[in-house]
Amino acid sequence: MTVRLPITLLLSLFAAAPVYAEEPPLSLLGLYDASRLNDATYQVAGHDYDASRQERAIGRSALLPQVGINGRYGHGGQFGSASRTNRQDDQYASDSVALTVTQPLYDKGRWAAYEQAKARGRLGEVQHENADQALFDRVVQAYFDLAQVENDLALTTQQKASIEGLAKQSQRLFDAGEGTVTDLAEAQARLDSVRAQEIQLQAQHRSALRRLAGRSGLNVTQIPAMQEQAPAAALLAPEQDLDYWMNKADQTAGVLGVSRASIDLAEANLRQQKAQHYPTLALSGRVARIDQSDVNELSQRQSTYYVGVVLDIPLYQGGGVTASSEKARAALESARSSLDAQQQQLSEDVEVNYLGVVAGFEKIKALVTAVRSSETALTSAQKGYGAGVRSTVDILDAQQRLFSAKRDLLDTKLAMLQSYVNLHTRTGQMTRRELEKVQGLF
């Protein structure tokens, strides 16, 4: 029995069926954009920056008028009255309300605290800028870690397929009485070794995928395969020599900006500690109203006001101010020494990464040639094996040299691109546009 369905019903069933499309490979830019939204470390830096933006207003508030209202409402009396008949005379009700206004006129401590608050705000700003550059570092490092594992896994899989084919051919020749047991054993030994390596790389690949997914908040299944070719041109322009990058580092490096802001904060803290030796002068005003009554008398109401200046002269505070000042001075010298150490380390990092880009480009060109030569050598070994003048070991060795050359090429390319990113992040020059350039060279 044949059941025929109307064409419209078939079309509706087809349209209602879920369509499962494989997710496209995650690009480097896609990972960066997702990490800006989901990277926990970057989110912490953003919240810290939002908090630091309030520092200036907090510090300035101490220089502005301080206004407050306080009130009191209650009953009172005396204990131990000699006459029990008149004890109610000792009870009273008292209400009061007062408005107090204070305006600092001269206070070096408050002004130093304001300068310190501005320094904390500036420190928060440069720390956030440094967090932007650090995000590029983390994104690229995680992406390249996965890329290296995928490169090794792909090459190992290719090598396994080649050895499997050679092992089958060796078995056929051995069965036909033309091969040797040595060739067969050598091929099998290489195959077992490559299979073990493949299992290890598969585990590393799953781990790298999970790390990338956790950083981006995306379901990462794959990334684009790397290109086995050299860049068309050098990554750095001729005028971007080592001195160029050293100057950029001194001017805009995030780590130096943080260190310099820390020095400004330490200097402001030292001024604040020293300010405790100085007198303070403030304008003070008060308006008060007091209502007081007892049981037997009428209520009394009194309104008062006061306007004047308040002078406070510190004389001796147990040596605490001097000790605090010396502590702040030591912290300042520590911040200055930290800047010197950062400058030295930064110079070394910039030079290493600059040479990594320049030398890496030249090395890649040489490795591209090495891959081609290894491919030619493998072809010759295969032909010689067919002619009976080469052994299985010769082919296996030629295959190993080819895959080693390809692995060196991809690893060197990753190292060059990593140095390019590091050079820009260390000098504060990394942008999304530069990341797009890295993705194009991937």
pLDDT digit string, tens, across residues 157-193: 888 887 777 777 777 766 766 667 776 777 788 888 8
DSSP string, 305-316: EEEEEEEE----
**Residue 220 burial class via C-beta count within 10 angstroms: exposed 0-12, middle 13-18, buried 19 and up:** buried
pTM of the model: 0.79
Q: What is the pLDDT of residue 341?
A: 92
User: For residue range 284-315, what is the model confidence (pLDDT) as tens digits?
Assistant: 999 888 877 765 555 677 888 888 888 899 88
Angle at 288 between CA 71 and CA 301, to 5 degrees: 95
CA dihedral (303, 309, 313, 317) positive or negative: positive
Using CA atoms, how far apart are residues 147 and 125, in angstroms rounded to an integer? Answer: 34
Q: Which of 172, 166, 200 is nearest to 186 (CA)?
A: 166
Pick the CATH number of 107-278+331-441 from 3.20.10.10, 1.10.3720.10, 3.40.50.1170, 1.20.1600.10: 1.20.1600.10
Rounded (10°) angle between helices 108-175 and 40-52:
170
pLDDT at residue 347 in the model: 92
> What are the residues whose beta carbons fall under 8 Å from the beta carbon of 102, sequence distance 6 or more?
65, 66, 282, 283, 284, 285, 310
Q: What's the pLDDT tens digit per position in 64-123?
A: 999 999 888 877 666 655 555 555 556 767 788 889 999 999 988 889 889 989 998 999
Q: Are 414 and 147 a contacting pair, CB within 8 Å?
A: yes
**Tokens (6 digits) for 309:** 């200046």
414 by DSSP, 3-state: which?
helix
Average confidence (pLDDT) over 339-358 = 92
Distance CA 5, CA 2 (A): 10
How confident is the model over 214-235, as a mean pLDDT? 84
